[in-house]
Amino acid sequence: MTPQAPGRHYLDVWGVAKSFRGTRVMSGMNFRMDRGELVSLLGPSGCGKTTLLRIIAGLMEADEGDVVLGGRNITRLPAHRRNISVVFQNYALFPHLSVAENVAFGLRARGTAKAACAQPVEEALSLVRMDAFAGRPVSALSGGQQQRVAVARALVVQPDLLLLDEPFSALDRKLRETMQVELKALLRDRGITAIFVTHDQEEAMGVSDRIAVMNAGKIEQFADPSTLYARPATPFVMDFVGLSTRLSGRVVQDDGARSIVETGCGLLTAPGGFAPGTPVQIGVRPELISPGEGENTISARLRDVMVLGAKTVLHGEAAGSDRVMCELPGIRGGMTRGDELRLGWSVADTLIHEAAA
């Protein structure tokens, strides 16, 4: 992709390339977001999320490209002059300092006099509901409390941009969910522009206005959570964001509006726009498949019934050994492994992508 000139976005990263010891891990990277947005960089390990974050923060130099923040080209500015705060995965707090001293550290590093730190530190700590802990050593705090202190330290300097690199990964699931809700509310209330790095798709869906799904140093799709889920642009996004049944096939007929696809389970109909002969992958989200006949119907042998409480998930195997998933609300009984099922869904709910060569 040809890099475009910086536009009027609050953050404008364009044409960024990066190699490590001769191996290119990112090239022609363009990434833009607006003021006040919460954006996640989502992708599997090694796809370049942290590299992009570090380049934006100024902790790593890009080989090519520019970073423009608030209309100012900051590409050549060192990290400490960018007014960007980073919350790291391990919080990077100083264990020998108190909570308040840790929070004051960023201000002190920017030359704020000790006496002038007290009020902003108190405010930042009360934002994350840690004001009662100001005098405690950081080493005496729980993981969730340390995470709050790291956020207070990042916010106390009133950054133009907040970057969070897997901020919740050290927390257990319940605490992680609580922190996600809290942090999202805090950032929204304060109108803070932030980028989350995560490889957890549920976290990205839950906290972000938009998600950039990355794969092998490229953004595959950049959209709001519902678009990513309902209209994944590529098979990679379909697989990475949410679960789906996948069936391989070949287009046998297409009138522009609808494609007829030959699969191991018979002919299926999908939204059109493919040349006859094109190898494709059909996808359907599990909650959009239901037992019985539909515009598309397949037979599958039931491999497993998982009763999860709020939902029951049926795992099946269709002809051609394609795996099929069907999710039903609530607790459902009366089905056993080995049953032959008819499963149906609508054409509109059928996702179709050209299969990777």
CA distance 60 to 79: 9
Cβ proximity to ligand ATP: between 213 and 351 the closer is 213
Structure tokens at 215: 């794969």
Least gap, CB of 174 to ligand ATP (angstroms): 23
Q: Binders of ligand ATP: how many residues, by CB under 6 A?
A: 11
- Cβ proximity to ligand ATP, 49 vs 246, nearer residue: 49
Structure tokens at 210: 């938009």
Strands (E), 132-174: 161-165
Looking only at the bridges linking them, the beta strands covering 23-33 and 194-198 are: unpaired
Stretch (H or E) spanning 147: helix 143-155
- If you ran DSSP here, which 8-state letter would residue 3 be given? P
Q: Is the dihedral of CA 217, 220, 222, 227 positive or negative?
A: negative
| Least distance in angstroms from the C-beta of 304 to ligand ATP | 30
Residue number, 45 or 226, with CB nearest to ligand ATP: 45
Q: What residues numbered 295-314 form the site for ligand ATP, per CB under 6 A? A: none
Nearest-approach distance from CB 241 to ligand ATP, in angstroms: 16
Pairing of strands 279-284, 23-33: unpaired
CA dihedral 290, 292, 298, 301 (to 10 degrees): 80
The C-alpha atoms of residue 154 and residue 228 are separated, in whole angstroms, by 30
The residue among 20 and 94 lying less far from ligand ATP, judged by its C-beta, is 20
The nearer residue to ligand ATP, 43 or 232, going by C-beta atoms, is 43
Strand partners, 317: 301, 323
Q: Is 218 in the site for ligand ATP (CB under 6 A)?
A: no
Please report which helix (H) or strand (E) contains residue 201, including its range: helix 201-207
Regarding 321 and contact with ligand ATP (CB under 6 A), the answer is: no
Kindly state the smallest distance separating residue 54's Cβ from ligand ATP, in Å.
Answer: 8
Instruction: Kindly identify the residues of this chain, within the stretch 109-138, that bind ligand ATP according to CB under 6 A.
Output: none
- Main-chain phi, psi angles of 250, to 5 degrees: -140, 135
Q: How far is the CB of 117 from ligand ATP (least distance, A)?
A: 33
Using CB under 6 A as the criterion, what x/- string covers residues 14-33 for binding ligand ATP? ------x----x--------
Residue (120 or 167) nearer to ligand ATP, CB: 167
Q: What is the nearest approach in angstroms of ligand ATP to the Cβ of residue 137?
A: 29
For residue 91, the minimal CB distance to ligand ATP (Å) is 16
The site map against ligand ATP for 33-62 (x = CB under 6 A) is ----------x-xxxxxxx-----------
Residue 159 or 217: the one with the smaller Cβ distance to ligand ATP is 217
Decide whether 50 or 85 has the Cβ nearer to ligand ATP: 50
Q: Dihedrals φ, ψ of 280, to 5°? A: -130, 165
Residue 207 CB, nearest approach to ligand ATP (Å):
17
Which CB sits closer to ligand ATP, 24 or 76?
24
245, 297 Cβ separation under 8 angstroms: no
Q: Is 107 helix (H, G, I), strand (E, B) or coil?
A: helix
CA pair distance 318, 341, nearest whole angstrom = 9
Interface with ligand ATP, residue 199, by CB under 6 A:
yes
Smallest separation, CB 89 to ligand ATP (Å)? 8
CA distance 43 to 221: 11
The distance in angstroms from the start CA to the end CA of the chain is 21
Which residues of this chain interact with ligand ATP, rule CB under 6 A?
20, 25, 43, 45-51, 199
